[in-house]
Structure 1
């Protein structure tokens, strides 16, 4: 199920950002990007900080290993991201 307000952003700046992503990549912005950019003060910024810490913070795993593991999990979940 997709939340309609995430599918069609209200702010012009947000619409332009998503359009630019589409033009530059040739694809629609992934749902995870749309979700993180929706109400960034309430959800996007805190979750972005968590993702940054998990993927780039101190760990026994290298950044490459973490990225590879995240890609593998996404593939198993049939997620494009």
Structure 2
């Protein structure tokens, strides 16, 4: 299910950022980017901090191993990442 308010960027800055992603990549911004940018104070910043801790914090796995594992899980879940 898509949240309609995520489809329409709020403000000029968001429109420019999402437009730049479309121009540079040739695709619309992925839903995860739109979700994280929608209301960053409520969801995006806390989740971004968690993602950074999980992928870059102390671990027995290297950063590359964690990134590869995340990409594999995303592929299995048929996610763009």
Indicate whether 1:52 and 2:52 are aligned. yes
RMSD over equivalenced CA pairs, Å: 0.6
Which ranges in structure 2 are unaligned for 5 or more consecutive residues? Answer: none
- What CA deviation, in whole Å up to 9, does each residue of 1:25-55 have, x standing for no partner? 1111111111000110111000000000000
Query: Could you tell me how far 1:10 is from its partner in structure 2?
Result: 2.2
**TM-score in terms of structure 1 length:** 0.96
Instruction: Report 1:1-81 matches (<5 A).
Output: 1-81=1-81
**TM-score in terms of structure 2 length:** 0.96
Runs of 4+ in 1 over 6 A off after TM superposition: none
Which ranges in structure 1 are unaligned for 5 or more consecutive residues? Answer: none
CA separation in 1, counterparts of 2:57 and 2:38?
25
CA separation in 1, counterparts of 2:64 and 2:10?
36
Tell me the secondary structure at the aligned position of residue 59 of structure 2. coil
Question: Between Structure 1 and Structure 2, how many residues are aligned?
Answer: 81
Tell me the secondary structure at the aligned position of residue 29 of structure 1. coil
